């Protein structure tokens, strides 16, 4: 097909009439707990569909999809990856998403690119579902994706298809219905029966042949087929009437019913197989090809006009103005930047200039390609509904909208999970330090769930991540950009506070050769309520100190407060009143009064007594009812106290609110995961400061004294 550019820079197809697009396109994200077999399943699909000649194996670090060094090293996907294949005249794009909660951001991003989600879960013996699966299911459901489930690892000794099915139906509902049943289990697992066509598919990999249904499965097949048909008929008046009349629905009618129910979220078909051995793949692909949602069936994409802020929509059609959403950026020091996007409307060809709607910049689109792992396959055009990639965009990052220059539209950004783990980072060498800024910018551009910021109070560079593995992976990526960083728990921003009011003198007198130095002031220091800030009051009468020296005294006081008096931590909420002093016409200077201010403040503060305060977080934890007792007692071991417990919106969950010292929550992300077995979430803000207990403040004060005595401050 030849292609021309429209005057606005968007591309149109020159030789074919505009068509409703995408009906042969399927964009599917694979999701579920880490280790469920998502990557293996895509590898099996690529092999069975004839796209690759050998099935990649994650265990041999020979997976096409786990191509990035961190995924290959850890044998878990740490970021999304893409693949594509064709089957039954449909063009599939697969997005393999990481299962660990540390990399949830990429699943959330993938949901912006796909229409369908295939959840993968192992066939578990005890029927207990993984939290990763539940979370992925709920997130996909919340944004109206069509969902199906693949029960994997049917070849394992303890595989229990029916137990897993029961657990799925109990957790998610009766609309979870099998579309296939397994033939055998564990070592005897050899294929599946397709409930719609009543065909057994036996064999593995590409060697998968139709066969008669095993005799001992006939009853189960009819029983579950009836359940499937009842569900499939439900969303369609015509079909439900036929069904209630006792008429046999044709295979096409059942497929149509399933398809409509999938669009409406009324059915979640269940498949099964073994990704490792390539069993059950063929029937899975055929069902997905026939029944899953295609891009032209979803509602028009909604955005706003970046100039007016007015709501706008774009249909998934080739003849609409071009618009695309960037869901992923890969940053690599050797390969450069790769931007992955889904075209929501119109078409795009290489050498087009498009607008980045949010940033107001323009980007020239170079060669377009689609990704299979890290392999790039060139494309001459990308149409609405399709997913593609482009290299070397300059200003575009994840979550941005690219659009036709003359018809701008801005799509909402991705609602990424908030990072909850914070560590301080230190460069190992001078060279690491030089590269740190650029590396941090690159890595956080690629992964918006990883952030860095400078803590004004402690002066540290803080790294924020979703969990410890996420942080480790980010550190490895930073190292690839030349910044080797060491992490430490962040310094706790303790503060010093006055215990009561006091008045003291600061007198600075020095006689050296010519001009001497002389400054002398009396200050009263008073503690103020938390958050009041600093007040400096001038009560000088009778010209005890000339006015021009007061700013120097105030500066000295502020400096002494910032430096701290007993343990090196800053002091905040204080009123300082200067009411007396003396001066010398020749020897007094701003510098001398500045020093007098420092001395007077330190003397007055010591006299008043200084205590240490620590930041207290208001913690809000959402956990299943069953974990309530454990969470509450854990909070008290962290020196916290519960201020309220209430039911959460999600049934079976409670929200516990508590005040807890921030210092004891530094690893709460990981601790909560093990306490609530991955089912908890939390949110915290610093709410106030409270006195640090003596057994904790005394060592800090002693250490400061020691360093001061050694001249080490």
Judged by beta carbon, residue 187 or residue 647, the one nearer ligand GDP is 187
Question: Cβ of residue 44: shortest distance to ligand GDP, in angstroms?
Answer: 8
| Closest alpha carbon to 642 in 652, 650, 651, 630 | 630
Does the footprint of ligand GDP cover residue 508 (CB under 6 A)? no
Judged by beta carbon, residue 66 or residue 554, the one nearer ligand GDP is 66
What the block records as the tokens of 15 is: 């030789």
**Using CA atoms, how far apart are residues 347 and 350, in angstroms rounded to an integer?**
10
**Using CA atoms, how far apart are residues 659 and 492, in angstroms rounded to an integer?**
16
Does the footprint of ligand GDP cover residue 55 (CB under 6 A)? no
**Contact yes or no for 601/563 (Cβ under 8 A):** no
Judged by beta carbon, residue 159 or residue 605, the one nearer ligand GDP is 159
**Using CA atoms, how far apart are residues 56 and 64, in angstroms rounded to an integer?**
6
| Closest alpha carbon to 632 in 687, 683, 672, 691 | 672
All residues at 6 or more sequence positions from 212 whose CB lies less than 8 Å from its CB, including other chains:
200
What's the length of the chain?
A: 713
Does the footprint of ligand GDP cover residue 155 (CB under 6 A)? yes
Does the footprint of ligand GDP cover residue 276 (CB under 6 A)? yes
Judged by beta carbon, residue 99 or residue 303, the one nearer ligand GDP is 99
Question: Cβ of residue 66: shortest distance to ligand GDP, in angstroms?
Answer: 7
All residues at 6 or more sequence positions from 512 whose CB lies less than 8 Å from its CB, including other chains:
none
From first CA to last CA, the distance across the chain in angstroms is 73
The window from 32-40, 377-385, 566-574, 670-678 that contacts ligand GDP (CB under 6 A) reads 32-40
Does the footprint of ligand GDP cover residue 156 (CB under 6 A)? yes
Does the footprint of ligand GDP cover residue 133 (CB under 6 A)? no
Q: What is the DSSP letter of 250?
A: P
SS3 of residue 549 by DSSP = helix
Backbone phi and psi for residue 234, each to the nearest 5 degrees, phi listed first? -55, -40
Question: Cβ of residue 221: shortest distance to ligand GDP, in angstroms?
Answer: 23
What the block records as the tokens of 48 is: 């069975």
SS3 of residue 385 by DSSP = coil
Binds ligand GDP (CB under 6 A): choice among 10, 27, 40, 588:
40
Q: How far is CA 606 from CA 572, 577, 580, 712, in A?
A: 15, 16, 19, 21
> Please, what sign has the CA dihedral across residues 56, 60, 62, 65?
positive
Does the footprint of ligand GDP cover residue 34 (CB under 6 A)? yes
Instruction: Characterise 578 by phi-psi region: left (phi > 0), alpha (psi -120 to 50), beta (else).
Output: beta
> Please, what sign has the CA dihedral across residues 699, 703, 705, 709?
positive
Q: What is the DSSP letter of 491?
A: P
The window from 149-157, 418-426, 528-536, 619-627 that contacts ligand GDP (CB under 6 A) reads 149-157
Backbone phi and psi for residue 673, each to the nearest 5 degrees, phi listed first? -55, -45
Judged by beta carbon, residue 403 or residue 473, the one nearer ligand GDP is 473
Judged by beta carbon, residue 283 or residue 615, the one nearer ligand GDP is 283
The window from 214-222, 270-278, 609-617, 663-671 that contacts ligand GDP (CB under 6 A) reads 270-278
Judged by beta carbon, residue 183 or residue 565, the one nearer ligand GDP is 183
Region 567-626 residues binding ligand GDP, contact defined as CB under 6 A? none
DSSP β-bridge partners for residue 388 = 341
**Using CA atoms, how far apart are residues 408 and 401, in angstroms rounded to an integer?**
9
Binds ligand GDP (CB under 6 A): choice among 13, 79, 93, 274:
274
Does the footprint of ligand GDP cover residue 35 (CB under 6 A)? yes
Judged by beta carbon, residue 168 or residue 610, the one nearer ligand GDP is 168
Judged by beta carbon, residue 156 or residue 420, the one nearer ligand GDP is 156
**Contact yes or no for 593/545 (Cβ under 8 A):** yes
Judged by beta carbon, residue 59 or residue 174, the one nearer ligand GDP is 59
| Residue number with the smallest Cβ distance to ligand GDP | 37
Binds ligand GDP (CB under 6 A): choice among 11, 39, 294, 312:
39
Question: Cβ of residue 495: shortest distance to ligand GDP, in angstroms?
Answer: 45
Question: Cβ of residue 414: shortest distance to ligand GDP, in angstroms?
Answer: 22
E strand or H helix that includes residue 193: strand 191-194
Binds ligand GDP (CB under 6 A): choice among 9, 99, 306, 490:
99
Judged by beta carbon, residue 280 or residue 506, the one nearer ligand GDP is 280
Binds ligand GDP (CB under 6 A): choice among 13, 27, 55, 77:
77
Binds ligand GDP (CB under 6 A): choice among 58, 111, 348, 403:
58
Does the footprint of ligand GDP cover residue 312 (CB under 6 A)? no
Give the DSSP letter string of 304-320. E-TTT--EEEE-SBTTS
| Closest alpha carbon to 370 in 27, 621, 16 | 27
Binds ligand GDP (CB under 6 A): choice among 2, 17, 59, 542:
59
Question: Cβ of residue 397: shortest distance to ligand GDP, in angstroms?
Answer: 26
Question: Cβ of residue 65: shortest distance to ligand GDP, in angstroms?
Answer: 8
Interaction pattern, residues 354-383, with ligand GDP; x per rule: CB under 6 A? ------------------------------
**Contact yes or no for 493/458 (Cβ under 8 A):** yes
Binds ligand GDP (CB under 6 A): choice among 46, 76, 221, 344:
76
The window from 147-155, 221-229, 627-635, 691-699 that contacts ligand GDP (CB under 6 A) reads 147-155
**Using CA atoms, how far apart are residues 159 and 153, in angstroms rounded to an integer?**
7
What the block records as the tokens of 159 is: 């595989």
What the block records as the tokens of 517 is: 């130095």
The window from 140-148, 161-169, 269-277, 689-697 that contacts ligand GDP (CB under 6 A) reads 269-277
**Using CA atoms, how far apart are residues 491 and 455, in angstroms rounded to an integer?**
10
Tracing tokens 């309220």 back to the chain, one arrives at 644
Does the footprint of ligand GDP cover residue 36 (CB under 6 A)? yes
Question: Cβ of residue 155: shortest distance to ligand GDP, in angstroms?
Answer: 5
**Using CA atoms, how far apart are residues 64 and 83, in angstroms rounded to an integer?**
9
What the block records as the tokens of 603 is: 């003397």
Does the footprint of ligand GDP cover residue 275 (CB under 6 A)? yes
Binding residues for ligand GDP, rule CB under 6 A, total 19
Judged by beta carbon, residue 67 or residue 683, the one nearer ligand GDP is 67
Task: Give me the residues that bind ligand GDP (CB under 6 A), please.
Answer: 34-40, 58-59, 76-77, 99, 152-153, 155-156, 274-276
């Amino acid at each position: 097909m030849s292609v021309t550019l429209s005057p606005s820079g968007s591309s149109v197809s020159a030789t074919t009439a505009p068509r409703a697009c995408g009906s042969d396109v399927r964009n599917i994200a694979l999701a579920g707990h880490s280790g469920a077999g998502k990557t293996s399943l895509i590898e099996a699909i690529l092999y069975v569909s004839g796209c690759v000649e050998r099935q990649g194996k994650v265990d041999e670090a020979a997976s096409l999809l786990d191509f990035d060094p961190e995924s290959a090293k850890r044998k878990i996907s740490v970021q999304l990856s893409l693949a594509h294949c064709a089957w039954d005249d449909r063009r599939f794009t697969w997005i393999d998403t990481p299962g660990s909660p540390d990399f949830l951001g990429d699943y959330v991003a993938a949901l912006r690119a796909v229409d369908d989600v295939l959840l993968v879960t192992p066939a578990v013996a005890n029927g207990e579902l993984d939290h990763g699966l539940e979370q992925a299911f709920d997130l996909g459901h919340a944004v109206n994706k069509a969902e199906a489930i693949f029960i994997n690892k049917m070849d394992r000794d303890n595989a229990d298809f029916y137990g897993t099915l029961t657990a799925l139906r109990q957790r998610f509902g009766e609309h979870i219905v099998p579309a296939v049943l397994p033939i055998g289990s564990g070592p005897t697992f050899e294929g599946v029966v397709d409930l719609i066509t009543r065909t057994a598919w036996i064999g593995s990999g590409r060697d998968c042949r139709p066969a008669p249904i095993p005799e001992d499965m006939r009853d189960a097949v009819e029983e579950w087929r009836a359940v499937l048909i009842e569900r499939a008929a439900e969303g369609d008046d015509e079909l439900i009437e036929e069904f209630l009349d006792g008429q046999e629905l044709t295979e096409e009618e059942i497929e149509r019913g399933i398809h409509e129910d999938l669009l409406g979220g009324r059915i979640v078909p269940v498949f099964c197989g073994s990704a490792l051995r390539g069993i059950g793949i063929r029937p899975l692909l055929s069902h997905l090809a026939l029944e899953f949602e295609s891009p032209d069936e979803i509602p028009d994409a909604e955005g706003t006009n970046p100039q007016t802020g007015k709501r706008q929509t774009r249909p998934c059609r080739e003849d609409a103005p071009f618009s695309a959403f960037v869901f992923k950026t890969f940053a690599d020091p050797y390969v450069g930047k790769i931007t992955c996007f889904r075209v929501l409307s119109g078409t795009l060809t290489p050498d087009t200039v498009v607008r980045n709607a949010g940033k107001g910049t323009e980007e020239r689109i170079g060669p377009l390609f689609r990704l299979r792992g890290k392999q790039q396959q060139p494309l001459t055009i990308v149409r609405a509904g399709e997913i593609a990639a482009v290299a070397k965009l300059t200003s575009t990052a994840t979550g941005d909208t690219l659009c036709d220059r003359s018809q701008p539209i801005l799509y909402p950004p991705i609602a990424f999970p908030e990072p909850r783990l914070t560590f301080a980072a230190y460069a190992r060498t001078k060279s690491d330090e030089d590269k740190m800024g650029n590396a941090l910018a690159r890595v956080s551009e690629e992964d918006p769930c990883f952030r860095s910021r400078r803590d004004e109070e402690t002066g540290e560079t803080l790294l924020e991540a979703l969990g410890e593995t996420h942080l480790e992976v980010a550190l490895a990526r930073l190292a690839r950009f030349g910044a080797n960083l060491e992490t430490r728990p962040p310094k706790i921003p303790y503060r010093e506070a006055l215990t009561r009011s006091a008045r003291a003198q600061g007198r600075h007198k020095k006689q050296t050769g010519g001009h001497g130095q002389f400054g002398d002031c009396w200050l009263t220091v008073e503690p103020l309520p938390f958050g009041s800030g600093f007040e400096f009051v001038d009560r000088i009468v009778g010209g005890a100190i000339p006015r021009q020296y007061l700013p120097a005294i105030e500066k000295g006081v502020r400096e002494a407060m910032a430096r701290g008096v007993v343990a090196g931590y800053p002091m905040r909420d204080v009123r300082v009143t200067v009411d007396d002093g003396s001066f010398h016409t020749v020897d007094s200077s701003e510098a001398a009064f500045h020093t007098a201010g420092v001395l007077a403040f330190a003397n007055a503060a010591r006299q008043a007594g200084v205590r240490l305060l620590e930041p207290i977080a208001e913690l809000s934890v959402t956990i299943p009812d069953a974990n309530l007792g454990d969470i509450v007692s854990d909070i008290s071991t962290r020196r916290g106290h519960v201020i309220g417990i209430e039911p959460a919106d999600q049934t079976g969950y409670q929200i516990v609110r508590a005040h807890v010292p921030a210092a004891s929550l530094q690893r709460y992300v990981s601790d909560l995961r093990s306490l609530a077995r991955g089912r908890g979430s939390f949110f915290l803000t610093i709410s106030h400061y409270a006195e640090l207990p003596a057994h904790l403040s005394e060592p800090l004060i002693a250490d400061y004294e020691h360093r001061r005595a050694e001249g080490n401050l």
